[in-house]
Structure 1
Amino acid sequence: MITEIKNAIRPLAELPDSEISELTGIATIKKYPFKSHFIKAGQIPTEFGIVINGLFRYIYISEEGKEFTKVFMPEKSFISSYTAMISGTTSFFFIEAIEDSEVLVIPYHNWQKLNSHNSKWNLLLEKLLEKGYAAKEKREREFLLLDAESRYRIFLEEFPTLENRVKQHMIASYLGITPIALSRIKKK
């Protein structure tokens, strides 16, 4: 398990082996089959994770059943309904495995204990939150300022392998368009 943890964390923050081994005491590796959920809307999250392999998406589902894909989370991504977890409230979205996946899962209360004994873990949390905030700000800017065709080009640049891993209706949902509109864009 130590190798998987190192591989998951090292791209995010350069921490020494001795500190990474501390994490093995509180973390577990869990498997999430295709279509299973790391978190469901309405649940109060108590853990977060780092995707070791596989692929997830965050989705909102309207009362009418329409899906809105917020983001795709491939390998080495931090997954959590973070705001709900730290505030002890229910999540508004689902985190769904869209491939068979493995996640390094860390219970939040254990993380807090670990962090209270060694503040260097704040470096990892800071890097994870910075990465998430930057991605959120970029995505909002794209939705506000760019048309669907431009958003699709950016999707292909950012996630060059995802088009073959993700169903077209999910990509359309991520882009904020219908699958028919996505087909038209791809034909151009």
Structure 2
Amino acid sequence: MDKFISFVLQFGPLNQQQIDLIVSKAMVLELRKDEYYWEAGKTVRQIGFITEGVIRVFYYNNKGEEITRYFIDENHLILSGNTVAEIFTPSEYLSAITDCKLVVFSKQDWKDISETIIGWDNIVQKIMTKHHSEKITRRSELVSQDGTERYLDFIQKFPTLVNRVPLSFIASYLGITQSSLSRIRKKIR
């Protein structure tokens, strides 16, 4: 819980009464490796913040192949939909790559915090702007790079994930085969 509060305080001030309210609404969720945080086609009913571990965002293409779209690691907020009130049914899966710990809030509790703490929505908007900017920076160059450049870029932008994420998931994220990734890794050693 302390990690979540410390993270939020980077984006705006909160007094002790506001922190106590947030803590009272939060729950800790532990996911084991390979468990889903959410599944495609099932309504999402909570907001989460990863304090430990890595989650993979993926979908199935029209050939039935798993395509890794993104990785979410510590200190990232997982919102559902454009607004808290929106009923959100994702088309993607969020699955734990490692054992994970999250601080989670029901959508109603998140809404209650928003309605009670003046400035909460502003804090959340700042967090989302930071996350969105990171995501764009991490993904934007992949289109124009060859496999080796993509992998080197991945190592630079996700330094903590290289040894925590299976090569098959990294290859899928980079849009290359696992055998190509193995050859690339051998070349750059």
Find the counterpart in structure 2 of residue 36 from structure 1. Answer: 35
| 8 Å contact kept, 1:58–1:72 | yes
SS in 2 for 1:185: helix
Q: Deviations over 1:30-59 (max 9, x none)?
A: 111110011001111121111011111111
- CA distance change for structure 1 residues 176 and 86 in 2, over 3 Å: closer, same or farther? farther
- CA distance change for structure 1 residues 186 and 29 in 2, over 3 Å: closer, same or farther? same
SS in 2 for 1:38: strand
Q: TM-score, structure 1 length as denominator?
A: 0.88
Find the counterpart in structure 2 of residue 186 from structure 1. Answer: 185
2:149 is aligned with what amino acid? S
Moved more, 66-75 or 129-138: 129-138
Q: Distance in 2 between matches of 1:17 and 1:52?
A: 22
Q: Distance in 2 between matches of 1:120 and 1:84?
A: 16
Q: Distance in 2 between matches of 1:176 and 1:85?
A: 33
1:144 is aligned with what amino acid? V
Q: TM-score, structure 2 length as denominator?
A: 0.87
1:150 is aligned with what amino acid? E
Percent same amino acid among aligned pairs?
28
The answer to whether residue 98 in structure 2 is matched with residue 110 in structure 1 is: no
SS in 2 for 1:5: helix
Cα root mean square deviation, aligned: 2.1
- CA distance change for structure 1 residues 118 and 80 in 2, over 3 Å: closer, same or farther? closer
- CA distance change for structure 1 residues 89 and 79 in 2, over 3 Å: closer, same or farther? closer
Shift of 1:4: 4.0
After TM superposition, the structure 1 = structure 2 runs for residues 24-173 of structure 1, keeping only pairs within 5 Å, are: 24-83=23-82, 87-173=86-172
- CA distance change for structure 1 residues 102 and 43 in 2, over 3 Å: closer, same or farther? same
Q: Deviations over 1:140-177 (max 9, x none)?
A: 42133222222211110122231211110010011111
Q: How many correspondences in the alignment? A: 186
| 8 Å contact kept, 2:84–2:110 | no
Shift of 1:186: 1.2
Shift of 1:20: 2.4
SS in 2 for 1:78: strand
1:173 is aligned with what amino acid? S
Shift of 1:91: 0.3
Gaps of 5+ in 1: none
Find the counterpart in structure 2 of residue 15 from structure 1. Answer: 13
Q: Deviations over 1:57-78 (max 9, x none)?
A: 1111235331111111111111
Shift of 1:86: 5.2
Moved more, 67-76 or 15-24: 15-24
Shift of 1:8: 4.4
SS in 2 for 1:110: helix
Moved more, 109-118 or 91-100: 109-118
